[in-house]
Structure 1
Amino acid sequence: MNIVITGGTKGIGRALAEEFWQQGHQVLVCGQNSAELQALAKSKGGERFYATSCNIRELAQVESLRDFALQQMGSIDIWINNAGLAKTTNSILQTSQQDLETMVTTNILGTMQCCRVAAVLMLAQGYGKIFNMLGGGSDGEYFAGMGVYGSTKRSLDYFSTALAKELAGSGVIVGRIRPGMIITEGVVREAKADLANFQRRRHFANLICDEPETVAPYLAAEILKCNKSGHKIAWLSSLKISLRMLRGLVNKPQDKFSRYGL
């Protein structure tokens, strides 16, 4: 398979890229940090792994990303929209104008542009899969500090459903991914920014949060076998949360955050 992953230098995007590459697929990741992109590509020895800079808020750069992927891999079988920004320590009114605009234009406009560019290509091919990474708030549930971010992910949930219906019967599959609570660089940054609040919910976070490399194998397997448009791949089900909470009443969970200086 030839796979494109936006926002593929960190977190779940990078973990998925590593997992697909280890399985023998060709992978292309994009991001905005040239040094990180070069280091990641170099670590793979130039074999079946490509990296390029792309700001998904800019349509011309998304089109260049598509062209580069075709140049390197010949076709695109799977396109995963993972790039996004999460600022989750402030209320809606406390969120800066810059953070507001960046979250909305990256998470919504950027993802929509990627979907449109990928869909046009895949319609011409007659096949392909597009997956959008959802997150907290995508199901409409409210979380403190996530008013703006959650709204962008709620929007993507609707958009993904709409696109799946519009492309029904075309050979292009549109799916959604709910990776659960992943410990990413952004999560660590937000925790350090509001350390007192994090310490209050540390026990709960240790129960429900996972490392990217723990989740990636399951998500990759589900992405590869998905053949139904509109499908939602979810790692952290309600049953799984309930079981973890019950275990937490009996056994103290492993601390997953100390390694990050928390």
Structure 2
Amino acid sequence: MPQTAVITGSTKGIGFGLAREFASRGWNVVITGRSDESVNAALGSLEKEDGRVIGQPCNVAENDQLQALWDFAIDAFNTVDIWINNAGLARTQWSILDTPDSEIHTMITTNMLGTIGGSKIAAKGMVSVGYGKIFNMLGGGSDGEYFPGMGIYGTTKRGLNYYSDALAKELKDTGVLVGKIRPGMIVTEAVVREAQEDLERFQKSRKFMNTLVDQVETVSPFLVDQMIGFEKTGAKIAWLNTFKIMGRIVKNMISKRPDQFERFGL
């Protein structure tokens, strides 16, 4: 029987890449987005994959919609083996004092409350059957590092690092595993949007970013491999580790890496 993965925020970006990768391996996949239009468009792009892919809209800040997502997956596939809290928002062009209150509210409710609510609902369902894996998507700031413009976003991810550790400890004797994912710097629609909103700022950091960024299709297979084989609760799956960063910086001194942004019109 095929296994099932539920991925929030999976109509685009790394979430979509993960959905495609799971489906290509024959998994059942449940995708979500903010609207019927986004979900239907993503389903159309995934219809040729080997696994069965279904989806429905879900605002992860609303627990009733998260519960409906869990029920939707169970009704369709009877089980959820992996639940990935991927839905998130990064607004990184402002200092803390200049970040609009509305953007602060959206980042906190999406990144933090969405992940907390999603993992609680998934954990309760998984504990009842004695198995399952929950993965929370971290990002810049989750290890305490500072990046300009990421004061609020980084705060949400730092909090989720602690939350994931706490959840792993509380579920350690249940058969449910909790993992943390640091996907690295990936060129997504959100990154392109922010670059377009402030091209001058983007151009100043372009050379450095080009050394470290990756494409969705490069990172997704690695992350899915690691999630499927995941056995140590509380552990972190990191694509862009310190060794890889240093290696790229040194390599870039010898030969220039192809531009990773050009195909996006930047």
1:127 aligns with 2:131: yes
The alpha-carbon deviation at position 39 of structure 1 amounts to 2.1
- Which position in structure 1 is the counterpart of 2:41? 39
1:4 aligns with 2:6: yes
In 1, Cα distance between equivalents of 2:147 and 2:77: 40
TM-score, normalised by the number of residues in structure 1? 0.98
1:62 aligns with 2:44: no
Amino acid at match of 1:96: P
In 2, Cα distance between equivalents of 1:50 and 1:177: 24
CA contact (8 A) 1:135 1:179 kept: yes
Q: Secondary structure at the match of 2:80?
A: coil
Q: Return the match for 1:110 from 100, 109, 114.
A: 114
- Which position in structure 2 is the counterpart of 1:30? 32
* Worse-superposed segment, 26-35 or 171-180: 26-35
Q: Return the match for 1:143 from 133, 142, 147.
A: 147
Q: Return the match for 1:187 from 182, 188, 191.
A: 191
Amino acid at match of 2:20: E
- Which position in structure 2 is the counterpart of 1:154? 158
1:223 aligns with 2:227: yes
Amino acid at match of 1:50: I
TM-score, normalised by the number of residues in structure 2? 0.96
In 1, Cα distance between equivalents of 2:256 and 2:207: 8
How many residues are matched?
262
The alpha-carbon deviation at position 43 of structure 1 amounts to 3.5
The alpha-carbon deviation at position 36 of structure 1 amounts to 2.0
Deviations 1:65-101 (A, max 9, x none): 0110111111100000000000000001100011000
Q: Secondary structure at the match of 1:168?
A: coil
In 2, Cα distance between equivalents of 1:203 and 1:216: 24
Structure 1 runs not aligned, ≥5 long = none
The alpha-carbon deviation at position 33 of structure 1 amounts to 2.6
Q: Return the match for 2:87 from 83, 86, 93.
A: 83
What root-mean-square deviation, in Å, do the aligned CA atoms of Structure 1 and Structure 2 show? 1.0
1:200-219 aligned at under 5 Å gives the runs 200-219=204-223
* Worse-superposed segment, 31-40 or 136-145: 31-40
- Which position in structure 1 is the counterpart of 2:242? 238
The alpha-carbon deviation at position 252 of structure 1 amounts to 1.4
Amino acid at match of 1:22: S
Structure 2 runs not aligned, ≥5 long = none
In 1, Cα distance between equivalents of 2:59 and 2:47: 25
